[in-house]
Amino acid sequence: MDQPIDGGATAVARAHSNIALVKYWGKRDATLNTPAVGSISVTLDALYTDTRVTFVPGLAADEFWLAGCRGPVTRISHVLDLVRGHAAGLGLPAAGHSAIVSSTNNFPTGAGLASSASGFAALAVAAAGAAGLSLPARELSILARHGSGSAARSIFGGFAEMHAGTAADGSDAYAEELLDREEWPLTVVVAITEHGEKSINSTIGMNESKATSPFYPAWLDSADDDLDEMRAAIRDRDFARLGELSEYNCLKLHALMLTTRPALIYWNAATVAAMHAVRALRAQGLPAYFTIDAGPQVKVLCLPGDAAAVQQALALVPGVHEARISALGPAAYRLE
């Protein structure tokens, strides 16, 4: 399908994907999309989304195009409505216009590589820009959060922390940068074990965990300890502590998923084999640690000098299609 020609106020933004070291699972408020727990992530240089937003006078309804094909618009319109609300407060014309949003990912969409994180962060920056708003990063993070909880972190580069917040209006549920990527240049090797969109959507999955898993209260109770320890590991540049805690928090999340009814089993055989391969590397003295989100891909944290060895080891794991090396990425930014 051809994309329509646009003719209004336009902005283009790039946002990078991120991977949580201390993870978010469960919503405090479903309407505001505020998380029940805080989270800490690293932004990934190798995986990003580019998004163009144009507010078009006279356009009947918002349109979303992903890699040239029409896509579902509901969550996108929700973020655009918030931008239009800000614009209305300032008397800007975008307040009354529908928008054309077109995005491309430089990686497989919906395959557990956090395309919603980079996607909604790029949307927030581009939509605010196209509307003529100049919002501080904190406001952009809140805007992105309304699309996807993890997207709030992709507004920032390097290491970012998302605050769960306590305010009833969600105004204190935003992310901020903990450390610039230059200050601790770690590497992530992404092992792709499956292509395609097969996982249970994270919103549905986390709501089911909250409703059914006997482990959910323990997940909430132990979150702050993990956040405190991760902040300390980052402050001290203690890679072993960061890595060990990342694996622990990841496995705790998957224990919660496995005890959800019906069970959320996001792993395949290659996911498990890759986890063992990482532990085998460690047994040989190479410091590498895995983390896994709501999907079958395995992300391995290592030091830059070990990335090639980690990539080689993962590529040999049966069922791993590809192992991609990524440095830590920058904050989201305007391209035009």
Contact footprint for ligand PMV (CB under 6 A): 20, 23-25, 39, 116, 148-150, 202-203, 293-294
The pair of structure tokens assigned to 148 is: 């996807």
State which residue, 43 or 77, has the beta carbon closest to ligand PMV. 43
The C-alpha atoms of residue 240 and residue 288 are separated, in whole angstroms, by 9
Q: Min. distance of Cβ 8 from ligand PMV in angstroms?
A: 29
Q: Min. distance of Cβ 261 from ligand PMV in angstroms?
A: 19
State which residue, 16 or 23, has the beta carbon closest to ligand PMV. 23
DSSP label of 263? -
State which residue, 179 or 223, has the beta carbon closest to ligand PMV. 223
Contact 63, 52 (CB under 8 A): no
The C-alpha atoms of residue 245 and residue 278 are separated, in whole angstroms, by 15
Q: Min. distance of Cβ 75 from ligand PMV in angstroms?
A: 10
Q: Min. distance of Cβ 293 from ligand PMV in angstroms?
A: 4
Dihedral sign (CA 103, 104, 109, 113): negative
DSSP label of 328? B
State which residue, 23 or 52, has the beta carbon closest to ligand PMV. 23
Q: Min. distance of Cβ 124 from ligand PMV in angstroms?
A: 13
The C-alpha atoms of residue 57 and residue 55 are separated, in whole angstroms, by 7
The C-alpha atoms of residue 290 and residue 248 are separated, in whole angstroms, by 9
State which residue, 187 or 209, has the beta carbon closest to ligand PMV. 209
Q: Min. distance of Cβ 309 from ligand PMV in angstroms?
A: 27
The C-alpha atoms of residue 165 and residue 151 are separated, in whole angstroms, by 16
State which residue, 148 or 326, has the beta carbon closest to ligand PMV. 148
Query: Residue 302: beta bridge partners?
Result: 187, 288
